[in-house]
Copies of this chain bind each other. A is one copy, B any other.
Amino acid sequence: MQLAQDVRTRVYKFGNKTADGNSTMKNLLGGKGANLAEMSAIGIPVPPGFTITTEACTEYNELGEDILIGMIKEEVEKALQNIEEIMGANFGDEENPLLISVRSGARVSMPGMMDTVLNLGLNDTVVKGLIAKTGNERFAWDSYRRFIQMYGGVVLGMKPESKDDIDPFEEIIEHLKEKREIQLDTQFTVQDLRDLVYDFKDVVKKRTGNDFPTDPWQQLWGAIIAVFNSWNGNRAVYYRNMHGYPADWGTAVNVQAMVYGNMGDNSGTGVCFTRDAATGENIFNGEYLINAQGEDVVAGVRTPQQITKVGSMRWAELAKIEEADRAENYPSLEELMPSIYEELFRYQDMLEKHYRDMQDMEFTIQDGKLWILQTRNGKRTGAAMVKIAMDLLKDGSITDKEALLRIEPNKLDELLHPVFDPNALKRATIIAQGLPASPGAATGQIVFFADEAKKFRNTILTRIETSPEDLEGMNLAKGILTSRGGMTSHAAVVARGMGKCCISGAGALKINYKKRILTVGDKEYHEGDWISLNGSTGNIIEGKVATRIPELSGEFAEVMELADKYATMDVRTNADTPKDAKAARNFGAKGIGLARTEHMFFEVDRIKAMREMILADTVKGRKHALEELLPMQREDFEGIFEAMQGLPVTVRLLDPPLHEFVPHQLATQKELAEDMHISLSAVKNKVADLQEFNPMLGHRGCRLGNTYPEITEMQTRAIMEAALNLKAKGIESKPEIMVPLVGTVNEFLEQEKVIRKTANTVFEEYDDTVDYLVGTMMEVPRATIMAEEIAKHADFFSFGTNDLTQLVFGYSRDDASKFLPIYLEKGILKVDPFEVLDREGVGKLIKMGTCHGRRTKPELKVGICGEHGGEPISVEFCFEQGMNYVSCSPFRVPIARVAAAQAALKAPERK
């Protein structure tokens, strides 16, 4: 073994536009090392350096420090010499010193492990060389004290062990600040920084028993070994175990020359993008600062200048700066250093062509020489994402599959909802934060009651929580804000369905309905006050903020076409009205996966009949009230079926507890009593009777239909009559009747019997028939366990993952806000299971339900109609289970379509 290893290369050099390695060698060189090699190899001037392989790390773990160093010493020395030659500087030199960085780099990014030491090579004499070279005494001493601090932490183990522990270096800094009565690091004098260096070295001696190493080579070997050790550090082991990465992967070590942009007016630093990150236009752009370090660009103390002249002039126009002033004080890099600019332009073009995507690059100019520090795929807006992917497809850079996989489905959301004007937003005061329950932007005047949603032209309906009674008002309001409830609360679900902006569960809000006051901290807002909601971030903003509605681009349509080309799983929509149904069809829905019939009962003229039905004590009384509801419900279905033009429509039978339909306010109760000619106390008694301890687990779903079969009869009749009426007009309908909350085979059988019997009666009356299916919602854990039996009778399964998640976890989505945020913060949960489908738990039951159901009935149609149906990771899971469709709210349809297509594209990879 020794022999074989001895001929191995353990150190890979890069720099001077060549490299020993390349991007395919991630396993050996780590991700970072491979990328640096790749950039160098294609001719990009990265600061030179070398990578010690991951194999060397494994050898180190097996053989120990001495043997490892013995094996790589010669190679490292040669590689360092190579850096010195390229940089024209020498490691440990007192006049023209080379400083280096040492970084870890595993084959995948591991945030728990990344240890870095910068400015390595400094000591009391070398620091003088740095002063000489930069002419900046303050910078040199600051670099030195930072180096000791980092090295002390990473290499010498002087990191605080827990949050309660104090960092010994920070303690010294704080102490000095107190003594000098200053607050900021930047207020330190050169002398202060020198004092810090000496104090730091003292504390190192005290803590470790050894002097801080002054020999640069000793520093380097210490750092290399520290990086190898970090592979078996607590954080790294935890992270590896969590992700199942094997211990023998090891980490590489990257050693690289430091370059500085603050070496005078011939130096500088900047960031640039190969395309416009906001619009996606193919325009090179970026910002830079002369004689500055990377931090200075970020810190915002100095105003960065534009890289291109065009960009610079546009910037000046917006900032109202005269051209002369601009050219004098804020010249572009293109004007100031034309040859450097030209070089940079060439590199950005090379890099984009090489990586075939928009690049976000960092560069430094050191003493007139351009170094590219880093390049990566640039962050971009949803609009830019779509445009860039399609542009790259059109110019032949990428294939259509690649273009499709470049789309982050969730980012499409940005294109479908109003957004705030970015300029208006700059002056906004955020007063509180809630859950980003339904995306988009809304601005309006506060109202506290749904029936007052029309009180002003633009209103924000502001409530503790919403209930189905508030539907009409929610529809009228511009946005919805609640102080309670989670991402799947009533407000959130309904708002997403409507494509309306909503923030839910903003716990800091105290709402006093009586006084019509919203209190946040010590601020009060009254009815009629303006507020604005950012439904995509959860920010609640004081006052009016201008919004704009984005237009759907041609590229968007092209993405959708691509999605259709590759998707094999259908996307349906959750829609309860012809309007929603049409919107969803326009977004490409292939049917309705969930039409909630109860939403139809809340309209003013219907709720009365519904309440009479509920208050009736006899079957006869109920039937009478149901007869009144029949024509209205039939009309609803006619509208929806017509809107869907022959696409399948899954109609869920009445689901919510009856309690939600009865009036809870005295005035309305009185009115109802009078209308029905019964006593007020009778109404009150019934309302009290319907009250439940846990309505989620109460008398609802098919438990209603099974105790009051006449409701199921009326709804089936309405569906069948609607379909037959349309058939007479030549319009096709495909009703799929869905029984909710089934947990036992008999629960389904009883309902199926009523449905089929009623349908047959209607068919006889019309002397005509329509094809229809009868299936079940799978949302009770027991149903998934009994799937094999249920599938004997059901035509389809539709997983209702909202309720299924509630029951599998035992979490009430309306109450979970008390502990879910803490669980997420503590890492007890990685994601909110109401947002992203829980594969391990809920997913296992879905898998079981699907497999067992299809074991009985191979052709069983299976879909999902919970909120997860519009969440890309969950959509992928549904695809993996072989579902026929996912169903989501209309505005999520495009997202689900792309997610479904991507899942199909990724599928062969998994095999």
Contact = CB atoms under 8 A, between A and B. Distances in A.
B785 A706 contact: no
A694 B484 CA distance: 14
A84 interface: no
Contacts of A422: none
Given A743-B810, A829-B746, A815 B781 contact: no
A509 to B, nearest CB: 13
Total copies of this chain within the assembly: 2
A747 B819 CA distance: 12
Nearest to A840: B786
Given A707-B822, A785-B840, 11 more contacts: A693-B814, A694-B697, A697-B815, A703-B823, A706-B826, A707-B818, A747-B823, A781-B845, A782-B841, A785-B844, A807-B810
Given A692-B815, A694-B696, A808 B782 contact: yes
A911 B850 CA distance: 32
B693 A812 contact: yes
Contact of A695 (B694, B744, B822, B845): B694
A827 B753 CA distance: 14
Q: By CB atoms of chain B within 10 A, which of A786, A803, A808, A829 has the most?
A: A808
A750 interface: yes
A809 B826 CA distance: 31
A811 interface: yes
Interface size class of A (residues with CB under 8 A): 35 or more
Interface in A797-815: 803, 806-812, 814-815
A698 interface: yes
13 contacts: A694-B814, A697-B697, A697-B812, A697-B815, A706-B828, A743-B810, A744-B841, A746-B828, A746-B829, A747-B828, A750-B828, A782-B841, A785-B845
B803 A810 contact: yes
A744 B832 CA distance: 13
Nearest to A697: B812
A780 B810 CA distance: 6
A175 to B, nearest CB: 28
Contacts of A838: 782
Contacts of A746: 827-829
Interface string A667-700: 0000000000000000000000000111111110
Contacts of A29: none
B826 A750 contact: yes
Interface in A386-444: none
A693 B696 contact: yes
A741 interface: yes
A844 B786 CA distance: 10
Given A694-B696, A694-B815, A698-B815, A810 B828 contact: no
Interface of A: 692-699, 701, 703, 706-707, 741, 743-744, 746-747, 750, 779-782, 785-786, 803, 806-812, 814-816, 818-819, 822-823, 826-829, 838, 840-842, 844-845
Contacts of A826: 706, 750
A274 to B, nearest CB: 42
A819 B693 contact: no
A586 to B, nearest CB: 35
A792 B76 CA distance: 44
A812 B781 contact: no
Contact of A744 (B703, B782, B822, B828): B828
Q: Which of A803, A838, A840, A841 has the most CB of B within 10 A?
A: A841
B782 A809 contact: yes
A786 B838 CA distance: 12
A743 B823 CA distance: 12
A741 B706 CA distance: 31
Contacts of A807: 781, 807-808, 810
Contact of A697 (B743, B747, B811, B840): B811
A781 B833 CA distance: 15
A693 B815 contact: yes
Contact of A809 (B780, B815, B816): B780
Nearest to A694: B812
Nearest to A685: B510
Nearest to A841: B782
A782 B844 CA distance: 9
B840 A706 contact: no
A746 B706 CA distance: 40
A375 B366 CA distance: 110
A747 B829 CA distance: 8
A694 B819 CA distance: 14
Given A699-B815, A747-B828, A818-B698, A810 B823 contact: no
Nearest to A830: B746
A696 B694 CA distance: 7
Contact of A693 (B695, B706, B782, B841): B695
A813 to B, nearest CB: 8
A845 B785 CA distance: 8
A807 B694 CA distance: 12
Contacts of A841: 743-744, 781-782, 785-786
Given A828-B706, A840-B785, A841-B785, A806 B697 contact: yes
A740 B828 CA distance: 15
A237 to B, nearest CB: 16
B780 A819 contact: no
Contacts of A815: 692-695, 697-699
A468 to B, nearest CB: 14
A163 to B, nearest CB: 14
Contacts of A706: 819, 822-823, 826, 828
Contacts of A697: 694, 696-697, 806, 810-812, 815
Contacts of A694: 694-697, 812, 814-815
Contacts of A701: 810
Nearest to A485: B693
A815 B809 CA distance: 20
A803 B842 CA distance: 18
A782 B701 CA distance: 22
Contacts of A707: 818-819, 822
Nearest to A805: B782
Nearest to A747: B828
A785 B807 CA distance: 13
Contacts of A696: 693-694, 697, 810, 812
A747 B780 CA distance: 23
Contacts of A693: 695-696, 812, 814-815
A741 B782 contact: no
Q: Which of A701, A744, A781, A811 has the most CB of B within 10 A?
A: A781
Contacts of A803: 810
Contacts of A822: 706-707
Nearest to A489: B693
A693 B694 CA distance: 7
